[in-house]
Structure 1
Amino acid sequence: MLKFTCLLLIVALMLQVSRAWDEGNNNEEEQLAAARQQSDEYFANAFGYTSNPWDSAYYQPSTPEYFGSIQGRNPVIRTSVHPFSKYFVANLVKTENDEEENNQAEGRLGGLGANLINTGLFNNRFTPANTWRPFANLANRIPISYNPNYDNPLDTFDACTSPSGDAGICAPGNICSLFGGRPSGSCILGKVCCINSISTCGGTVTLNNTFWQSPSTAVSAPSTCALTVRMDTKLVEQLKRPICQIRLDFVSFTIGGPSTTGTTIGTCTDTFTVGGSTTTAPTICGVNSGQHMYLDIPSSAVTPSNVQLMFNFAAGTTTTRGWNIKIAMLPCGARYLAPTDCLQYFTASTGRVKSFNWQDAAGALQLNNQNYNICFRTELVSSQRATQMCVSVCTGLTIGDAFSITTVAPIAAADVGSATVTAFVNSLSAVGTTFTNNGVTTAVCLYDFLLIAGGRDANNVEQDRYCGNALNPVPINTPATAAAAAAVVPALNPAFAGPAAGGLPNSVQVCTSIRPFRMTYRTDSQETTVPAVVASNTIGAGPDTGNTGFCLDYQER
């Protein structure tokens, strides 16, 4: 009798377990169907079309993911929340602990530990999966935080590099196709390195490492071509890390250059402009392949924002226009962010820096209306932090002028009666801000200049502003007599009168020990004469001809 009773109990228990199993499977299937439906609705609302149904290889219904949230530039924030809950079924079975988690302050906890624990690696080994999860809240008790400086290949949308060297993001193959990307190479866990590019005008970019390429058909003129870069943590591809900066890399960039005639010399005809960033980027044009820009934006964790990149093409320009711009979205708190207000940022101990549209070619011109900072990260040199940075004009050029700011028109020797005065004027390397000659104060390096704070030559001569045809802190000198310079040169070009005889300066190496290392490049809105106006306290300046900007090699020591 006892054996029969035990047998009945065993059968009853088996029936109960079977019923619970069936109910669990039914709940699992219902949740999966609802999640797929809401996922499709999300992508339809966000991107204007419905994705292909996700297969079970890429979707696990019991897989809450946790990502790190970096506010502003703070390196670490340790909070937790379910970021995908808004996209999935609202009436899933919730435990008391789940409700407690949802009442916590909003944040996102990331890291390998949380992912492994919450992806069902442990939980789905217990049945029924929806009713008993002994490890469900373990990740919330482990102090793991997301590191924005580390690209975790276990996460979707982290950066990767294809075998051909193109930058992309790690994503499942069907998600890569959903965003219109091109798989090239592989990431772990079956993901692909997805290379995303767009070659249309008027589109919107939300993916990191997107390449904006010029249309395959020739660009007509006059016309415009614009692209919007959207930063918003509500987007699943940006959910993991809020964005604080955009870096634009001009892989290739050729549009019409600045005007070469009249009063608009140096002013761009075709233009490339940036709108919506807190960084004021100058209008640029011409040839800028290999250049880059860093653009500060408000943290996308605080407010969504749009940055507009726009080309305007002028009529009457025969230049063949083409570009390929890599758009990188940099997370808040990352150590590789550029310092605030630095349009360009160099992170090597040696390198080359050029003004926009500088070319090793004939006819290249400096651009008007430039005003931006060029910054250099302090690197380790011989295992110690660099204490100074030195710059010198680029070497190995063919026909380009490595330093040409505030160049003046040639003055014939017959006009001044002295060939040495002609050489003096044409080899101008003025420093400082003004010179006073015969009671008249005129501008030197006041309107166009390169500022290097604390710049010194090998003889310890220091100046901060550099312009003219040579990089040199030595003031203007002329081998002509002081009387001849004072009597003749001011009459022809009153902006450029110098002190007594002393020799013509050549470009030299200039070093600064002021950290953080940076330079400021500034040009005004014209290359023509600036007349002196006493009433408005305007100091006069002579006309400029053929300015090309600068090309400098830098080295940290």
Structure 2
Amino acid sequence: MLKFCLLLSVVLMFQAGRACDGNNEAEQLAAARQESDEYFASAYGFDSAPWGSSYYQPSARVQGYANPYEGRTPQNRMQPNYNPFKKYFASSTGNEENGQPEGRFALGGLGANIINTGLFNNRFTPANTWRPFSSLSNRIPVTVNPNFNSPLSNFDACTSPSGDAGICAPGSVCSLFGGRPSGSCILGKVCCINAITTCGGTVTLNNTYWQSPSTPISVPSTCALTVRLDTKLVEQLAKPICQIRLDFVSFTTAQPTLGTCTDTFMVGGATTRAPTICGDNSGQHMYLDVPSSGVTPTDVQLMFNFATGTTTRAWNIKIAMLPCGASYLAPTDCLQYFTAATGRIRSFNWQDATGARQLNNQDYNICFRTELVASQKASQICVSACTVTVGDAFSITNPAAQGVDAPAQNALAATLSAVGTTFVDANAATLAVCLYDFLLIAGGKDANGVEADRYCGNQLNPAPLLFTNALLTIPTPGGATTSVQVCTPVKPFKLTYRTDGQETAVTANPPSVPFAATADTGVANVPGNTGFCLDYQER
């Protein structure tokens, strides 16, 4: 009996110990979960308190107007009380979004997406090219928890102390993506500057710089880059992309020959029709429309083709990915978009320099956002030729005497404006004026109310006058010998620039080529076309 009692006591003590251990196990699990939360919060720079702070409330904006476009998403877009790690860990409250039990799969989803961000693959070379677990990402699907919010998807834009655009990210993540930290962001993150200096790479991060290689470029050769847009990528998950903006921080290639590029820069894969360009285009930009990456993944190709020659080739192109629905998206079919009340616009390859610079086969729209002027929406936009030192501010198509190759006549006519589409000369021949190369300003008028839509020649002037040379009896299409300010009230504010595929004389071949035109360049005493440089002002 004594032995039985002792045995029973031992059993009861053992059960009591298990019960105590059970309570401790729950407490240990809760503590471990808290430590896990704190670990990931620390690793990714997350602090729950600032998100609910009034210091990060969006600033007030004028009704109907957004901040001027800067190629990036403002840092203060964070929502109050937003916790990007909310769904990553199991919650004991049961108040998860949509009431769905996600705790069992949340950590697995986080692990899958950390792997897919570049920890174990080579999407973000050349920073870390050794990926010993490159196949592991294919074994852990992102769709384990499709409702998660990844901290890596909240890459708000930033500007480094040197002026470079970047993204805010934890320092460790910046290095994994191949970037370099430059400056700091809120929540302990760094301003990560991402640059690619190779040909044949792929870009998936916003505000990436594509820079020319440090080694000399061999010619003839091709250098291309792919911009991949797909919301299945973690870094693009939260923001479907609808536009790309290219900022040519620097851009130098060979000059064209009679308007035709020998070195070429081309864009493929976008719905926007971007012209082929070359020459000097530093400070220019392009907006490229693409289908929403949330619906259709898209690969946009940027490609340089270099011909033989010793010309210096160098570029630095900032690639900004603009989310669908953003207030700073350019209107559809606008290759260039300006969002200030005043500024300057230039045709591609225009420079304040001598020599022919106009490019062939240009066909694109230059658009302007309607701004507030004296607290009211602008009612018109005015353009005028910019001030130059050695170049020509406006030179589109030679307005010389059609059908006459007299040096004196050509030299004089080259200073005139030219408007309209056709002209009948003394021989009753119908010849082209502003039909093949022109700048279209719908409803454009001068200070006297003289109106014209198409502008070409060597002056910006709508005067539809005819000049008769004292030495010759053949009238010359053209007008005043000086440029004037041209204004239009037509909205939306937009200019259209078009050139044909040649600078030589156009031979009539009806109906495909209805009217003949003289050469734009190479004529005696007539300088080659340079394009245009215009200052604009909304009023």
User: What's the TM-score, normalizing by structure 1?
Assistant: 0.72
2:339 equivalent in structure 1? 347
Cα distance between partner residues in 1 of 2:405 and 2:25: 109
Of 207, 214, 222, which residue of structure 1 is paired with 2:220? 222
CA separation of 1:456/1:10 partners in 2, compared to 1, >3 Å: closer, same or farther? farther
SS in 1 for 2:235: helix
Q: Does residue 378 of the first structure (1) align with residue 367 of the second (2)?
A: no
SS in 1 for 2:178: coil
The residue type paired with residue 113 of structure 1 is N
Of 275, 278, 302, which residue of structure 1 is paired with 2:268? 275
Of 533, 547, 555, which residue of structure 1 is paired with 2:529? 547
1:361 Cα deviation from its structure 2 partner = 1.1
SS in 2 for 1:327: strand
Of 223, 234, 237, which residue of structure 2 is paired with 1:236? 234
2:442 equivalent in structure 1? 453
**1:83-102 alignment, distance < 5 Å:** none
CA separation of 1:324/1:430 partners in 2, compared to 1, >3 Å: closer, same or farther? same
Say if 1:28 and 1:130, in contact at 8 Å, map to a contact too: no
1:465 Cα deviation from its structure 2 partner = 0.2
1:13 Cα deviation from its structure 2 partner = 6.7
1:526 equivalent in structure 2? 502
CA separation of 1:424/1:119 partners in 2, compared to 1, >3 Å: closer, same or farther? same
Say if 1:453 and 1:514, in contact at 8 Å, map to a contact too: yes
Say if 2:45 and 2:187, in contact at 8 Å, map to a contact too: no
Q: Does residue 112 of the first structure (1) align with residue 80 of the second (2)?
A: yes
**1:423-434 alignment, distance < 5 Å:** 424-434=412-422
Of 7, 12, 21, which residue of structure 1 is paired with 2:27? 21
Moved more, 504-513 or 336-345: 504-513
SS in 1 for 2:173: helix
1:181 equivalent in structure 2? 179
Cα distance between partner residues in 2 of 1:414 and 1:325: 44
Q: Does residue 161 of the first structure (1) align with residue 159 of the second (2)?
A: yes
Q: Please, what is the CA RMSD of the aligned residues?
A: 3.4
1:130 Cα deviation from its structure 2 partner = 4.1
Cα distance between partner residues in 2 of 1:59 and 1:427: 64
**1:127-526 alignment, distance < 5 Å:** 130=90, 132-137=92-97, 156-259=154-257, 265-315=258-308, 317-395=309-387, 397-407=388-398, 415=406, 421=409, 424-437=412-425, 438-480=427-469, 484-486=472-474, 497-498=476-477, 504-526=480-502
Moved more, 243-252 or 472-481: 472-481
Cα distance between partner residues in 2 of 1:18 and 1:536: 88
Cα distance between partner residues in 2 of 1:387 and 1:350: 14
Cα distance between partner residues in 1 of 2:437 and 2:362: 9
1:444-479 per-residue CA deviation (whole Å, 9 max, x = no partner) reads 000000000000001100000000010000124215
The residue type paired with residue 313 of structure 1 is F
Say if 2:459 and 2:483, in contact at 8 Å, map to a contact too: yes
**Identity fraction in percent:** 65
Say if 1:391 and 1:555, in contact at 8 Å, map to a contact too: yes
The residue type paired with residue 402 of structure 1 is A
1:441 Cα deviation from its structure 2 partner = 1.3
The residue type paired with residue 132 of structure 1 is S
Say if 1:424 and 1:478, in contact at 8 Å, map to a contact too: no
1:321 Cα deviation from its structure 2 partner = 0.6
2:147 equivalent in structure 1? none
SS in 2 for 1:16: helix
Say if 2:184 and 2:190, in contact at 8 Å, map to a contact too: yes
SS in 2 for 1:439: coil
Say if 2:45 and 2:189, in contact at 8 Å, map to a contact too: no
User: What's the TM-score, normalizing by structure 2?
Assistant: 0.75
1:274-325 per-residue CA deviation (whole Å, 9 max, x = no partner) reads 000000100000000000000000000001110000000001x221110000
1:89 equivalent in structure 2? none
Cα distance between partner residues in 2 of 1:131 and 1:349: 51
1:163 Cα deviation from its structure 2 partner = 1.4
1:424 Cα deviation from its structure 2 partner = 4.2
The residue type paired with residue 434 of structure 1 is T
Cα distance between partner residues in 2 of 1:279 and 1:131: 47
1:189 Cα deviation from its structure 2 partner = 1.6
Cα distance between partner residues in 2 of 1:159 and 1:363: 40
Say if 1:485 and 1:498, in contact at 8 Å, map to a contact too: no
How many residue pairs get matched?
Answer: 440
1:504 Cα deviation from its structure 2 partner = 3.8
Cα distance between partner residues in 2 of 1:217 and 1:308: 22
Cα distance between partner residues in 1 of 2:203 and 2:512: 47
Where structure 1 has 5 or more consecutive residues not aligned to the other structure, the ranges are: 1-7, 33-53, 66-74, 76-109, 121-128, 141-152, 260-264, 490-496
The residue type paired with residue 311 of structure 1 is F
Say if 1:244 and 1:299, in contact at 8 Å, map to a contact too: yes
Say if 1:410 and 1:426, in contact at 8 Å, map to a contact too: no
The residue type paired with residue 435 of structure 2 is L
Cα distance between partner residues in 2 of 1:555 and 1:173: 43
1:19 Cα deviation from its structure 2 partner = 2.5
1:537 Cα deviation from its structure 2 partner = 5.7
Cα distance between partner residues in 1 of 2:379 and 2:45: 54
SS in 2 for 1:118: coil
1:430 Cα deviation from its structure 2 partner = 1.3
1:83 equivalent in structure 2? none
The residue type paired with residue 429 of structure 1 is S
SS in 1 for 2:443: strand
Cα distance between partner residues in 2 of 1:133 and 1:239: 27
Say if 2:269 and 2:301, in contact at 8 Å, map to a contact too: yes
